[in-house]
Amino acid sequence: MEFTQYFQATRLRPDRTAIKIEWIKTVVNHPIKEFIQEDGRIRRWASISEAEGRYLRVVLLEDGKTVHNVFFDRSFKL
Put residue 64 in one of left, alpha, beta given phi > 0 → left and psi -120 to 50 → alpha: left
55 and 37 Cβ atoms separated by less than 8 Å: no
Q: What is the pLDDT of residues 7-63, one digit of tens each?
A: 999 999 999 999 999 999 999 999 999 999 999 999 999 999 999 999 999 999 999
Query: pTM score > 0.75 for this model?
Result: yes
Centre a 10 Å sphere on the Cβ of residue 19 and count the other Cβ atoms it contains. 19
What per-residue confidence (pLDDT) applies to 77? 84
